[in-house]
Amino acid sequence: MSDEIPLKKALFYFVLILLFVGSLFYFKAQQNTTTGNGTNDAVFNGDVQTIDLSFKNYNYYPNTIRVKYNVPVRIIADTNTIRGCMTNINIPDFGISKTVRKGDNIIEFVPNKKGTFGFACPMRMGTGKIIVE
């Protein structure tokens, strides 16, 4: 019986260490998960400005997007990283509210006014801005 208590303690600490190390790997992987060109500027792809939107550091990435006025914009949401309420992307100044999912992850619009406009999920856990120049 007395040998059983130290063994249970050792097993308990071993499981705690495994959970801690596993969580470190999980959060590090979340921080390194990204798509896109690494900048805030949309990339011209033919006649369309394209931006890849994903999740990094607990927010949309990039969370500041710079686009050109009156040139169509295509936002491609990475549904492998964007989850939960953040899949519902709202850009109220352009009349956009879309829930993205695999197979339906593209948001398209024409930025027909200049300025800085916010976008967010309904709970405002994920936020960002679009700068139209």
Domain assignment of residue 59, yes or no: yes
Whether residue 92 lies inside any domain: the answer is yes
Q: What's the pLDDT score for residue 20?
A: 66
Q: Is residue 27 part of a domain?
A: no
Answer whether residue 66 is part of any domain. Answer: yes
Q: Does 37 reside within a domain?
A: no
pLDDT at 35: 37
Q: Is 104 domain-assigned?
A: yes
Q: How many domains does the chain have?
A: 1
Domain of 72, CATH number, reads 2.60.40.420
H or E element: which one contains 7? helix 4-32
SS3 track for 45-112? ECCEEEEEEEEECCEEECCEEEECCCCCEEEEECCCCCCHHHHEEEEHHHCEEEECECCECEEEECCC
pLDDT, position 7? 77
* Max CA pair span of the chain: 77
The mean pLDDT values, 10 residues at a time, for the chain of 133 residues are 71 72 51 43 86 94 95 97 96 97 97 97 95 96
- pLDDT of 33 reads 37
Range of the structural domain that residue 119 is part of: 43-132
